[in-house]
Amino acid sequence: MSTPDLNLLITLDAVLAEGSVARAAQRLRLSPSAMSRALARLRETTGDPLLVRAGRGLVPTPRAIELRERVSQLVEDAKAVLRPAEKLNLKQLARTFTLRTREGFVENFGAALIARVGEEAPGVRLCFVQKTNKDSASLRDGSVDLETGVVGKATGPEVRARALFRDRFIGVVLTGHPLSQGAVTPALYAAGRHISVSRLGLDKGQIDEALLALGLERQIATIVGSFSAALALARAGELVASVPERYTDNLRAGMHSFALPVAAPEISISLLWHPRLDADPAHRWLRGLVLDICAARPDAP
């Protein structure tokens, strides 16, 4: 068996990443004719057209989609193998890391994380961006370095995950609200006017299913897309918010919190990143800091 031309992996990675022969040629600094010849060799080697015409553009074949992440990781691993080994010097590290999180993470963990980063690597800057969906595209394209959240069906199968902490939902009301005085029964809880938190605008969830099993139903007064919005509304009036306990710790300051009187499943908050950054020393260091900061806060009982 002849030895395959491993240089074709570089070409294949560029073609699959760009989805365009012209852009792949620019990325590799090849002429259009040289790129066309390379693509022809790739098609012959893989036995697949890889990119096919669709209108005025090109779309990847199923085989190309299957290969994209594997090829990308192979190329990154090869670069890491050939790169000279360097010991990470945190004091001289100058880099901006982008973290995508839902509201509550920065308020609860941001200050401690920024302080540790400033102490260990003063040239590093953290950029926090809002997480509006669970799509892994930003991790895949490199615009986000780290992400926090619940691993779900929308999370890319290649994404690495490490559990940060477990959380549970609790009820939150303004101090002085009837639910802040005495024991909260399922009937009393259901009788309140509630805020539903859903990025998709849904008014029913797992809490409602638990109540339904008891023959009870919540009255949903409004639907919002974030926990911070739900808590702001609960703080301003007679509404009841049901939110994750640890994730909203600082957001609930001055309010009354209580355990839900129905069974509600716990959620596991994880740290997510793309596998191409597994071996990056600076990225490993930052992952360790996030894990340390989150572990320093006791889990909810």
Q: Please tell me the distance from the alpha carbon of residue 272 to that of residue 146, in angstroms, as a whole number.
A: 6
Query: What are 259's strand-pairing partners?
Result: 170
State whether CATH 1.10.10.10 applies to domain 7-82: yes
Tell me if domain 7-82 and domain 169-265 are identical in fold: no
Domain ranges of the chain: 7-82, 90-167+268-295, 169-265
Convert the pLDDT of each residue in 50-85 to its tens digit. Answer: 888 887 778 888 888 888 888 888 888 887 777 665
C-alpha neighbours within 13 Å on the C-beta side of residue 50: 25
Residue 296 pLDDT > 90, yes or no? no
pLDDT of residue 84: 64
Model-level pTM greater than 0.75? no
> Which residue blocks in 47-134 are alpha helix, DSSP H?
62-82, 105, 111-120
User: Comparing 1-5, 56-60, 242-246, which segment has the lowest mean pLDDT?
Assistant: 1-5
Convert the pLDDT of each residue in 231-240 to its tens digit. Answer: 999 999 899 9
Query: What are 54's strand-pairing partners?
Result: 57
Residues 6+ apart with CB under 8 A from 154: 133, 134, 135, 136
pLDDT of residue 20: 83
Angle (deg, nearest 10), helices 7-18 and 62-82: 130
Q: Name which CATH class applies to 169-265.
A: alpha beta
Convert the pLDDT of each residue in 120-155 to its tens digit. Answer: 999 999 999 988 787 888 898 889 999 998 887 778
Q: Name the architecture of domain 90-167+268-295.
A: 3-Layer(aba) Sandwich (3.40)
Burial 202-223 (b: 16+ CB within 10 A, else e): eeeeebbebbeeeebebeeeeb
Q: Beta-carbon neighbour count of residue 162 at 10 Å?
A: 11
